[in-house]
Amino acid sequence: DAGITQSPRHKVTETGTPVTLRCHQTENHRYMYWYRQDPGHGLRLIHYSYGVKDTDKGEVSDGYSVSRSKTEDFLLTLESATSSQTSVYFCAISYSGIYNEQFFGPGTRLTVL
Partner 1 sequence: GENVEQHPSTLSVQEGDSAVIKCTYSDSASNYFPWYKQELGKRPQLIIDIRSNVGEKKDQRIAVTLNKTAKHFSLHITETQPEDSAVYFCAASSTTGNQFYFGTGTSLTVIP
Decide whether 20 or 50 has the Cβ nearer to partner 1.
50
Q: Are 25 and 86 in contact (CB under 8 A)?
A: no
C-alpha to C-alpha distance for 23 and 82, rounded to whole angstroms: 21
Nearer to partner 1, 32 or 78 (CB): 32
For the CB of residue 53, give the shortest distance to partner 1 in the complex, in Å: 16
Judged by CB, which is closer to partner 1: 81, or 102? Answer: 102
Nearer to partner 1, 81 or 105 (CB): 105
Q: How far is the CB of 18 from partner 1 (least distance, A)?
A: 26
Strand-by-strand arrangement of the 64-70 sheet: 4-7, 19-25, 73-78, 64-70
Count the residues in the chain: 113
Alpha carbon distance, N-terminus to C-terminus of the chain: 32
Residues that bind partner 1 (CB under 8 A): 1, 31, 33, 40-45, 48, 50, 56, 58-59, 90, 97-99, 101-102, 104-107
Q: How far apart are alpha carbons 103 and 84 in whole angstroms?
A: 26
**Least distance between partner 1 and beta carbon 75 (Å):** 19
Question: Residue 112 Cβ, how far from partner 1 at the closest point, in Å?
Answer: 21
